[in-house]
Amino acid sequence: MADVMEQTIKGKFPHVEWLDLGQNGVLVECAIMKREPTGDVFFFPLDTLDHIDKTRLARILRNRNAELFPLWDLMSQVTLGNGVNALTYFQQLVKVRTASGQIFGATAGRHGTPEVRVNPNHPSYRAAAKE
């Protein structure tokens, strides 16, 4: 399987990337909320946003500190024009892509695991294969 992490292109703004979500060669513009050491990427696709929400997001991404902090942290400090915290508002759209490419809603209790690569030349692998 191809490494999912390599199939991204940086976008115009900080925290915006084009991801191959379906692993089919079609890139989707996404806001990246957070990246985990396990390879999980918390994101939401921008094509699901209407004009007002895109404007709200662009205002957050143009913040002078946008490149210094993760997007979830930036959003937690912003109150939108409708009086709602930006993180609370956009959190409902967030999904997770695991290192293996699985996508699911960002709910508590589910996490991806790092992709395990087996070295067939390692002595422990050869010993287990003989059994």
- List, for residues 8-43, the tens digit of each pLDDT value: 677 778 899 998 888 888 899 999 999 888 888 899
Q: Do residues 31 and 43 lie in contact, with contact meaning Cβ atoms separated by under 8 Å? A: yes
Q: How far apart are CA 97 and CA 5, in angstroms?
A: 10
pTM: predicted TM-score of the whole model, two decimal places: 0.74
Q: Do residues 8 and 46 lie in contact, with contact meaning Cβ atoms separated by under 8 Å? A: no
pLDDT tens digits, 54-91: 999 999 999 888 889 999 999 999 999 889 999 999 99
- Please indicate whether residue 76 or residue 5 has the higher confidence score (pLDDT): 76
Q: What's the confidence (pLDDT) of residue 108? A: 58
Amino acid, res. 65: N
Q: How far apart are CA 12 and CA 110, in angstroms?
A: 31
Backbone angles phi, psi at 126, to 5 degrees: -65, -40
Q: What is the DSSP letter of 74?
A: H
Residue carrying structure tokens 């050869």: 126
